[in-house]
Amino acid sequence: DGGITQSPKYLFRKEGQNVTLSCEQNLNHDAMYWYRQDPGQGLRLIYYSQIVNDFQKGDIAEGYSVSREKKESFPLTVTSAQKNPTAFYLCASATRDFGSPLHFGNGTRLTVT
Amino acid sequence: RKEVEQDPGPFNVPEGATVAFNCTYSNSASQSFFWYRQDCRKEPKLLMSVYSSGNEDGRFTAQLNRASQYISLLIRDSKLSDSATYLCVVTDSNYQLIWGAGTKLIIKP
């Protein structure tokens, strides 16, 4: 079955450490996205990529970095520069067709103490 | 004003009742509209796209009102399993998706 896999599901880190969240998809989608969700707020876009080896900052990119070396993979690194990293992180993919809906992974819940 | 606004709820509704909620958007150039459903501590899942003429999928009906810039979701004969948060999504003028914060729905037996 095709889908998007995020790992790990739960992640705990000490403040000051970088951490990388994995996102892999086998849907053959060109576009991939990273969102952050905090309680009571809508999803906020961190980074997105429409094609391999290219990505753009979203609304809240500061303190995060990404790479897109393969079509299937779009890892997100939460750096120590991110002021409030504790959140629910969601990866999504879509075709490049206009208006194409997103397909989400099951999320990674990051807790930084 | 937020770009996409939803009543956060919760809407407490008895099983079998009909419930409707709206989502307003600020960008008149928005072209695509979606409703997603999100269960507690899970990822959002596409419920339905919203088309200009309105569309129905079983017990769910979505409508778009461009003049007043809102979309609506109506759920008929509500089930306990309909309890979730319903997220409204709208494209902006750059075709990026803008998410509402969601409306929480609780169906009571």
Tell me the per-residue pLDDT of B63-89, one tens digit each, with 9 for 90 and over.
Answer: 999 999 999 999 999 999 999 999 999
C-beta atoms of B100 and A42 within 8 A? yes
Distances (CA, A) of B19 to B53, B103, B107: 20, 12, 10
> Which of A42, A106, A107 is the closest to B99 by Cβ?
A42
Contact state of B45 with A104 under an 8 Å Cβ cutoff: yes
Is A85 part of the contact surface with chain B (CB cutoff 8 Å)? Answer: no
**Strand, coil or helix: what is B82?**
helix
Per-residue model confidence as pLDDT tens digits over A28-85: 999 999 999 998 788 999 999 999 999 999 999 999 999 999 999 999 999 988 889 9
Q: Of A40, A105, A107, which is closest to B101 when you measure between CB atoms? A: A40
The reported pLDDT for the residue numbered B91 is 86
Q: What are phi and psi of B81, to 5 degrees?
A: -70, -10
Please tell me the predicted confidence (pLDDT) of residue A41.
81
Residues of B in contact with A45 (CB under 8 A): 96-97
Residue A97 pLDDT grade (very low, low, confident, very high; cuts 50, 70, 90) = confident
> In this structure, which amino acid lies at residue B106?
I
**A45:B97 CB<8 A:** yes
Q: For chain B, what percent of residues have pLDDT higher than 70?
A: 99
Tokens representing residue A47 in the block? 């980074």
Does the structure show a pLDDT above 70 at B23? Answer: yes
Whole-angstrom Cα distance, residue B32 to residue B90? Answer: 6
Helix, strand, coil percentages for chain A (3-state, nearest 5): 0, 50, 50
The CA distance from A29 to A94, in Å, is: 5
Q: What pLDDT, on a 0 to 100 scale, did the predictor assign at position B99? A: 92
Chain A, nearest residue to B6 by Cα:
A42
pLDDT of B13 > 80? The answer is: yes
The token pair at A8 is: 């790990």
